Chain A
């Protein structure tokens, strides 16, 4: 099991806990969508899994070599070209200089961007930047890939395409993916499993399995979206005064 979370809790200073008693197990090669309203601590949970933050209670098991991470905005370095951004990830991983360029080329080809390797981030569209960022996180060559609302800032047309793209890459590379989102449709579209996180404190309150039929049958997928949305709204209503 690449990721096991046991009674995980997190609070900042003396404030109310952001995460409380989070339990989840994520299997190797699984695609899990972590869904929740704003402020439910999904990003905090992801940061904890990435080792960027430390939990205040509970136990956590993640792969010893750490995780690759993809941010909401591409966070590409503006002084490097698309290829150099990917190459930097390889370099920091300790890949020999002689193979870096070829490897970066392969990764850009994987995200269908081999033509744009010499462009700088500001010359790329938002969707292209996120694909470069995806190639960069794949360059880290970690089994676990954590994604923090990576498509939230994209236009709908681009996002639909990137959903297909991510699914394809997930199947080709066999990565374990934890994908944080506040978009129910996105969660249903991508996850094999959708975990719903409650808000304040964040806790896994329910989970749903998404089958292969949901990928092709819009009626079925729509229905599941409806069910999850209803449950999510129930969570939100709890906070009404």
Chain B
């Protein structure tokens, strides 16, 4: 049966002394340490367990020794109290600065003035309208961007010629501020929602694509080998292995994509006012400038910031935390 040139060596019987002193020492020890009963344990060289039941018991002992005890999660109050404290400190500093009276009050309003303006805007209903219009548009634009960008990103990451051809362009588009598209969009689509969405897409899509591509680039090559060995087709490889493996990078891209959507939206709303474009936060900001009312401007800025923070805290942070935790990637991080 063996077709190679060397013959099958028979194990020499007792005659030749062992070549390795180490081996012989270990063997001696293993043989001599066997107790009177017939339960021989010669680890490494011979069978060391006495049967399936014995093996199962040993393994289960070792498994429980080597597994971490489950930690019980509780509410970590520092997560809530520390950011709130930081906010309170910032507001106090702001109030303190205003009370020093370096600037005219109508130029730098204090926290209470802005809070008062919040109340007025709320009573008018324009605050709710602005937040709702912008949020709805931002989320809608973002979701459509995700649907468009994901297959493109996967395709670019998987097909080398496509990536070589379009990769630089996509990276370039990410650098180009999407505000630059506003004049073009107004000329093409007029003062309609289409203009706003177009600008949002141009901001969000390239960054989602780039995030996905860099997520795919960071996949350990072994995952692909495993996929090949398991017999995955090209599509199965992309959907079952590449996409989930790239999820941390993809999520990073989504976060950035959302940030770009939101910023682009604000830029578009500030510049393109009127027509069938409704009243969003950007429009509110612009209105504040036109009226030279700093409290409206500050209110709009704070609302834009607050929406950003809330989306991060309520949507991305929990998703990201769960994703990383499940993969065992959070240990030792400051999250």
Chain A residues whose C-beta falls within 8 Å of the C-beta of B67 in the assembled complex: 123-125, 128
B52 to chain A, nearest CB (A): 6
* Contacts A164-B48, A208-B8; A66 near B231 (Cβ below 8 A): yes
What is the chain A residue whose CB lies nearest that of B61? A161
Contact call B240/A92, Cβ cutoff below 8 A: yes
What is the chain A residue whose CB lies nearest that of B5? A23
Asked if B46 is an interface residue, CB under 8 A from chain A, the answer is yes
Contact call A188/B48, Cβ cutoff below 8 A: no
* Contacts A77-B241, A218-B30; A125 near B66 (Cβ below 8 A): yes
Contact call B3/A23, Cβ cutoff below 8 A: yes
B109 to chain A, nearest CB (A): 49
List B residues 53-103 near A (Cβ within 8 Å).
55-56, 58-60, 62-63, 66-68
Asked if A24 is an interface residue, CB under 8 A from chain B, the answer is yes
Q: Which of B45, B56, B245, B326 has the most CB of A within 10 A?
A: B45
Q: Which of B56, B58, B60 has the most CB of A within 10 A?
A: B58
Chain B residues whose C-beta falls within 8 Å of the C-beta of A50 in the assembled complex: 229
The CA of A124 and the CA of B64, in the complex, are separated in Å by: 10
The CA of A26 and the CA of B241, in the complex, are separated in Å by: 33
Chain A residues whose C-beta falls within 8 Å of the C-beta of B327 in the assembled complex: 78-79, 120, 122
What is the chain A residue whose CB lies nearest that of B230? A92
Contact call A220/B11, Cβ cutoff below 8 A: yes
Chain A residues whose C-beta falls within 8 Å of the C-beta of B241 in the assembled complex: 77
Interface string of B238-264 (1 = CB under 8 A from A): 001100110100000000000000000
The CA of A156 and the CA of B44, in the complex, are separated in Å by: 8
Contact call A68/B229, Cβ cutoff below 8 A: yes
The CA of A77 and the CA of B58, in the complex, are separated in Å by: 27
What is the chain A residue whose CB lies nearest that of B228? A52
Interface string of A97-136 (1 = CB under 8 A from B): 0000000000000001100100011111111100000001
Contact call A207/B12, Cβ cutoff below 8 A: no
Chain B residues whose C-beta falls within 8 Å of the C-beta of A124 in the assembled complex: 67
Contact call A225/B23, Cβ cutoff below 8 A: yes
Asked if B163 is an interface residue, CB under 8 A from chain A, the answer is no
What is the chain B residue whose CB lies nearest that of A137? B229
Chain A residues whose C-beta falls within 8 Å of the C-beta of B23 in the assembled complex: 222, 225-226, 229
B230 to chain A, nearest CB (A): 5
Chain B residues whose C-beta falls within 8 Å of the C-beta of A188 in the assembled complex: 45
Contact call B44/A160, Cβ cutoff below 8 A: yes
Interface string of B1-43 (1 = CB under 8 A from A): 1111110111110101011100110110011000000001011
Contact call A69/B326, Cβ cutoff below 8 A: no
Chain A residues whose C-beta falls within 8 Å of the C-beta of B3 in the assembled complex: 6, 23-25
Chain B residues whose C-beta falls within 8 Å of the C-beta of A79 in the assembled complex: 244-245, 247, 326-327
Partner of A218, one of B2, B9, B45, B222: B45
Q: How many residues of A contact B (CB 8 A)?
A: 76
List A residues 135-159 near B (Cβ within 8 Å).
136, 140, 156-159
A177 to chain B, nearest CB (A): 15
A31 to chain B, nearest CB (A): 14
Contact call A207/B326, Cβ cutoff below 8 A: no
* Contacts A93-B230, A128-B63; A218 near B11 (Cβ below 8 A): no
Contact call A219/B31, Cβ cutoff below 8 A: yes
* Contacts A164-B47, A207-B9, A227-B11; A127 near B66 (Cβ below 8 A): yes
List B residues 152-203 near A (Cβ within 8 Å).
none
What is the chain A residue whose CB lies nearest that of B23? A226
What is the chain A residue whose CB lies nearest that of B56? A112
Chain A residues whose C-beta falls within 8 Å of the C-beta of B52 in the assembled complex: 168
Asked if B126 is an interface residue, CB under 8 A from chain A, the answer is no
The CA of A171 and the CA of B280, in the complex, are separated in Å by: 71
Partner of A226, one of B24, B226, B229, B245: B24
Sample of 5 further A-B pairs with CB below 8 A, known A189-B44, A220-B11: A50-B229, A77-B245, A123-B68, A167-B47, A204-B4
**Sampled A-B contacts (18; CB under 8 Å):** A6-B3, A71-B222, A78-B328, A92-B232, A113-B63, A123-B67, A124-B67, A140-B229, A158-B66, A168-B55, A188-B45, A204-B4, A207-B4, A208-B8, A219-B27, A221-B27, A222-B23, A226-B23
The 9 closest A-B pairs by CB, nearest first: A122-B328, A125-B66, A222-B27, A218-B42, A230-B19, A226-B18, A221-B45, A78-B327, A69-B229
**Chain A residues near B (Cβ < 8 Å):** 6, 23-25, 27, 50, 52, 66-69, 71, 73, 75, 77-80, 88-89, 91-93, 112-113, 116, 120-128, 136, 140, 156-161, 163-165, 167-168, 185-186, 188-189, 203-209, 211, 214-227, 229-230
